[in-house]
Amino acid sequence: MIGHEDTSPILLFQFGDPQIGLGTDHADRNGDTNRLLFAVNYINKTFSTHNKVMLMMGDQVLWHSHGKTPCPPSELDGIKRGQDAWEGTVLCIPGNHDVWDPPTRSLFLSTYTLSRSYTSHDLGPSTTLICLDTTSIDQKYKPADFPREDWDAEERHGEEQVEWLERELVRCEREGREVVVAGHYPLFLFDETEAASSYSLHPSKRAKLVNLLQTRSVHHYLAGHVHRTMHGVSTSGDLHCWIVAGTALAADEDTMGYGVRAFEIHPCSAAPSPPLLASLPHPLETFTSQHSTVYTSWIKLDLPHEMVPPSCRELVEKHFSKLPERPGKE
C-alpha cells in the first residue's frame, strides 16, 4: 500500500467487472482472462514508474450459484493471474456475483485475504479510497425463499456499514483528505432523480448515501455492475458517478467498448503541468476541490483481433434489463 509519506501522485485505475466466465468467448475462460491481462500489461507498460492502484469493481467472477456449489477454479485462476501481473496495489470490492449471503461473504473475505468486505485505504498523505460492499446496502435479486435469518443479517451488515462510512468521512474531513468512494452498484446512472432500476441503488438507499457524500464533500463515486461505461452527475453538479464496463463483456461495444478509467490525484499545491494522464489519447477532465486536483481519462483498449469476442448484442437484449429513462427526457 502507498505510504503516508509518499507525496507522488496517486494513479488509480478503475477496472469494471472482470467477471471471468461471462464473455461470449468464455468456453474456457481464457478470453476474459486474456483481456484482463491485456489491460494490466498495457497500464504496467504505460505507467511503469509510478504508484498505481488497481481497483476491481466487483463481480470478479461469473459464479452465480449463490454458494450452493464451489466457484469454478478456472474463474478464480483468471482473477489471480490478472492480480499477480499488476505492478502496484490491488484492491477488490464485492459484487452480487461474489457475495450473496453471509456464507458467500465469508468465502469472498478468505479468497481475497480481507478482514471485512468494506474497507478504507489512505493512499499517500492526502487521499483516501473507501470501498463499500453495496450488496448488503441494497439487497437486490433476493428470491422469495431467501432465509429470513440471512436477510436480517444482511440488513444489519448494511446498516453498520453506512454508520462506519459516516465515521470514516468525518475522520477524513477532519484530517483534510480527498475522499473517493467506490461500490459495485452505482448511486445512479444519470442523476439522483432517475427511476428505480436493477442497475443502481434503490432510490431510498440512494438518497441516504447521496446526502451523506454531498454533506461530507465527496465528489467522486466509482461503480461497476452495468457492463456499460457511463458518467452520471448529480443535479447540483458536485457528485460524479463513474461507471466502467468490464473486460469480460461491454454492453456498449459500439461506443466506449472495452477499457479502464484512470484517475490521477494530487494535493492542490502539487498538481503538475502537464499531468501524467495527458499522454492518453482520450480527452482529460479536471476537477479541483479544497484538498486536491483530480484528473481523469478513459483508456479504451485497442484489442488485437484474436481477443475481440463475438458480439454480445443478442445476449444483452435477451438477459439484460433496459436502462431507466434519462430524467427530463421527453
What DSSP line would sit under 301-314, residue for residue?
----GGGPPPP-HH
Q: What mean pLDDT is reported for the chain?
A: 90
For the stretch 227-253, pLDDT in tens is 999 999 999 999 999 999 988 888 887
Q: Which residue, 268, 260, 310, 266, is CA-closest to 290?
A: 268
Kindly tell me if the per-residue pLDDT of 330 is higher than 70.
no
Q: Does the pLDDT value for residue 5 go beyond 60? A: no
Mean pLDDT of all residues in 109-128: 92
Beta strands in 124-271 (DSSP E): 127-131, 178-182, 220-223, 230-233, 240-243, 259-267
Q: Is there a contact between 26 and 32 (Cβ–Cβ < 8 Å)?
A: yes
Domains of the chain: 10-319 (3.60.21.10)
Residues of the chain with pLDDT > 70, as a percent, come to: 94
Q: Could you tell me which residues come within 8 angstroms of residue 106 by beta carbon, excluding any fewer than 6 positions away? A: none
pTM of structure? 0.95
Question: Could you read off the pLDDT of 247-293 as tens digits, one per residue?
Answer: 888 888 777 788 999 999 988 766 677 899 998 988 999 998 888 89
Q: What is the pLDDT of residues 171-199, one digit of tens each?
A: 999 999 999 999 999 999 999 999 999 99
Cβ count within 10 A of residue 48? 9
**Torsions phi, psi of 309, nearest 5?**
-75, 165
